Amino acid sequence: MTTRTTRSLEHPARDDIRLAGVLHALSDPMRLHIVHVLAEEAEAQSCAVFDLPVSKSTTTHHFRVLRESGVIHQAYRGTAKVSCLRREDLDALFPGLLDGVLRACSLESARLAGRP
């Protein structure tokens, strides 16, 4: 009965990733946070570990935007769906961009925490 352990998940090919799309995906604070956390973890993370202050359906939405823009890769693992950054693709297309954004993200967090 078609036990598709791998339900299909659409990912853009490397050449279809667009800078404007990536920047748009990163321009939302919630998604920036997700990317920031993903960058610090070696393992692919389940969506559930983020505990975002929004509903489940909104969480799904944000992960989809990240995936469809080419920022993250997602795969089903059992009942969970795990996500990880597409570092290799992003670094090949836009060297230094992801690191620049992640560093900026860390610096801003520190700056805003220092001046509340």
Partner DNA sequence: GCGTTAGTACGACGTCTAACGTACTACGAA
Partner DNA sequence: TTCGTAGTACGTTAGACGTCGTACTAACGC
Chain residues in the site for DNA (CB under 7 A): 3-5, 7, 24, 28, 30, 46-48, 54-58, 60-65, 76, 78-82
The residue (of 80 and 97) whose beta carbon lies closer to DNA is 80
Q: How far is the CB of 100 from DNA (least distance, A)?
A: 21
Residue 47 interacts, among DNA, a copy of itself, none and using kind-specific CB cut-offs from 5 to 8 Å, with: DNA
Select from a copy of itself, DNA, none the partner in contact with residue 10, using the beta carbon and a kind-dependent cut-off of 5 to 8 Å. Answer: none
Q: Name the H helices within the chain.
A: 19-26, 29-40, 56-68, 87-93, 97-114
Q: Is the CB of residue 17 less than 8 Å from the CB of residue 25?
A: no
Nearest distance from C-beta of residue 98 to a copy of itself, angstroms: 8
We find the least distance from the C-beta atom of residue 50 to DNA, in angstroms, to be 9
46 binds, among a copy of itself, DNA, none (CB under 5 to 8 A by kind): DNA
Question: Residue for token digits 């992640």?
Answer: 102
Distances (CA, A) of 5 to 32, 43, 46, 49, 80: 30, 20, 16, 22, 11
The residue type of 103 is R
